[in-house]
Structure 1
Amino acid sequence: MKTIKVTNNHYQELIEVWEASVRATHDFLPEKNINELKPLIFDQYFAAVELYCVKNEGDIIGFIGVADSNIEMLFIRPDFIGKGVGKQLILHAINELGASKVDVNEQNPKAIGFYKKMGFEKVGRSELDGQGNPFPLIHMMRQSSSAQLV
């Protein structure tokens, strides 16, 4: 599976991956918030980051978005979670895009554990998410002096 650059022609498929992933991993997020986020992500957030995806048999199975060395989004189709897609995308973001930071929902402990495994450490916490909602974020950073993961 190869990591490829995303174009806006992929946005519809990306939003489908996003929604499936969020529903599988963000059980703390009410339906109202998912419905509010979806158009924002499609209309604004995708265009604000460098997007890369992994395809399997022509279908996007995961994607990552990076801006200013921050991983802004990483979403994997639920049936591909735990199969190396996230790791492949993270390694691409670290090694090719210089990613070293990520904010993770505190209520998503599996994601926090994944980022720890990928060399990120907790450096802070915010009570509110980026939209001002009461979903605390854990700020994580990967030390640039660490050896590159392969």
Structure 2
Amino acid sequence: MITIRSSRPSDGERAVEIWRGAVDATHDFLSPQDRLAIDETVCGFLPQAPLWLAVDANDYPLAFMLIDNGHMEALFVDPACRGTGVGAALVRHGLALHPKMTTDVNEQNAQAVGFYEKMGFRRTGRSPLDGQGKPYPLIHLEYLT
């Protein structure tokens, strides 16, 4: 059974573990230098960020989502839990709070693009660079009912 709850300060280390595992499993397009730089940035803010967590029956975090003003900034699932519906449960929770939720996804992460489109998101645009100005194109998505 999966439960969605807000993060607590004690969840920070686990959130970083989930992020690292998910990125290593899905972001093979990142250069080693960019991966290390992003890791440093993420470790600086993620433990204190207001996350939504998907937790198991023992309250162990399996995935997390970060939403800011109706924009999903992050969705990361422990690689051992991919394909189990944990990410979809978080997205449905986010949509209940923000019915017109938007997100951006790396164009090179075809599995993620397909996941969001299957969830009902539609492409609204594309940027050739990511938010840090790196050459990792982003697909802009919005949930359309």
TM-score, reference length from structure 2: 0.91
Indicate if the aligned counterparts of 2:100 and 2:142 stay in contact, CA closer than 8 A.
no
Question: What are the within-5 Å matches in structure 2 for residues 1-150 of structure 1?
Answer: 1-44=2-45, 47=48, 50-56=50-56, 57-98=58-99, 100-143=101-144, 146=145
Secondary structure class of the residue paired with 2:131: coil
* Residues 139 and 50 (structure 1), Cα distance of their counterparts in 2 relative to 1, 3 Å cut: same
Distance 1:99 1:19 in 2: 28
* Residues 19 and 108 (structure 1), Cα distance of their counterparts in 2 relative to 1, 3 Å cut: same
Secondary structure class of the residue paired with 1:37: helix
Aligned length: 143
Letter aligned with residue 53 of structure 1 = L
Q: Give the deviation of 1:9 after TM superposition.
A: 2.2
* Residues 25 and 9 (structure 1), Cα distance of their counterparts in 2 relative to 1, 3 Å cut: same
Distance 1:29 1:11 in 2: 24
Distance 2:115 2:72 in 1: 13
**Structure 1 residue runs of 4 or more that deviate by more than 3 Å after TM superposition:** none
Unaligned runs of 5+ in 2: none
Indicate if the aligned counterparts of 1:46 and 1:65 stay in contact, CA closer than 8 A.
no
Q: Give the deviation of 1:50 after TM superposition.
A: 3.6
* Residues 82 and 60 (structure 1), Cα distance of their counterparts in 2 relative to 1, 3 Å cut: same
Distance 2:31 2:134 in 1: 11
Identity of aligned residues (%): 34
